[in-house]
Amino acid sequence: MTPELKAAVAFLMELPKPFACGLRHARRFAPKLLTAMAFLGWEEPDEYLAMELVAKSADGLADPPAAIGVRIEDLRPRHIVVRDRAKPAPQTPPQAPCPTHPGLEAAGCPQCAAADAMDRQRRELDAAKGIDDESARKALEAMLANRGPQSRAARGREHAARQGAQAREEASKRDAYLRELEALSG
């Protein structure tokens, strides 16, 4: 087996689920894949090739890995695939933008959700250390009132307290905004 054939077999077996081929399909499709690649400007199996082969959903396929054989036959030239992938998805401005992340919808804003999750995690860590929001706030106030040379740990706590306060403020802004929207539509 040539190194190229071996790489193609490995590539087919490592496709994302549910398209990952078993050895039987991978061995059957690998020579066909190499031929198509040589014709279509694919020097090696890369992430674009993987994306292209699994781009169409597996809905309705009884045996998704078997469909890879057909998709190899329909493979497009690499430069076309790369060109199409590089196009930004058409963007529609959000109807009800998040007050903190104006490019995103307020309802289910993923950035707010991420900030919430970070804050929750921080609070859990703090709770494990016996620090609640109130004591974190007091510690922050005390630190601000008493500026002086700070230890690294103190700076870390201050940073965490600031981040937490900011995340909570953003979350409450968004909640208020969503309540307003609800009131308007209801």
Residue among 166, 164, 143 nearest 155 (CA):
143
The answer to whether 163 contacts Zn ion (rule: CB under 5 A) is: no
Minimum gap (Å) between residue 21 Cβ and Zn ion: 41
The answer to whether 101 contacts Zn ion (rule: CB under 5 A) is: yes
Tokens of 163: 């981040």
Minimum gap (Å) between residue 160 Cβ and Zn ion: 20
The answer to whether 109 contacts Zn ion (rule: CB under 5 A) is: yes
Distance, in Å, from the CA atom of 129 to the CA atom of 160, rounded to the nearest integer, reads 13
Q: Which of 8, 15, 34, 100 binds Zn ion (CB under 5 A)?
A: 100
The answer to whether 98 contacts Zn ion (rule: CB under 5 A) is: yes
The answer to whether 68 contacts Zn ion (rule: CB under 5 A) is: no
Half-sphere exposure of 76 (CA within 13 A, CB side): 13
Write out the DSSP string of 90-158.
P----SSB-SS-TTSBSTT-HHHHHHHHHHHHHHHHHHHTT--HHHHHHHHHHHHHT-SS--HHHHHHH
Find the part of the chain contacting Zn ion (CB under 5 A) among 44-52, 84-92, 94-102, 143-151: 94-102
Find the part of the chain contacting Zn ion (CB under 5 A) among 3-11, 51-59, 91-99, 135-143: 91-99
- The single-letter code of the amino acid at 80 is I
Minimum gap (Å) between residue 157 Cβ and Zn ion: 26
Q: Which of 112, 131, 160, 161 binds Zn ion (CB under 5 A)?
A: 112
**Angle, CA 179 vertex, CA 177 and CA 180 arms, to 5°:** 65
Neighbouring CB atoms inside 10 A of 28's CB total 15
For Zn ion, which is the closer residue by CB, 84 or 175? 175
Q: Which of 111, 163, 168, 181 binds Zn ion (CB under 5 A)?
A: 111
Contact positions vs Zn ion (CB under 5 A): 98, 100-101, 109, 111-112
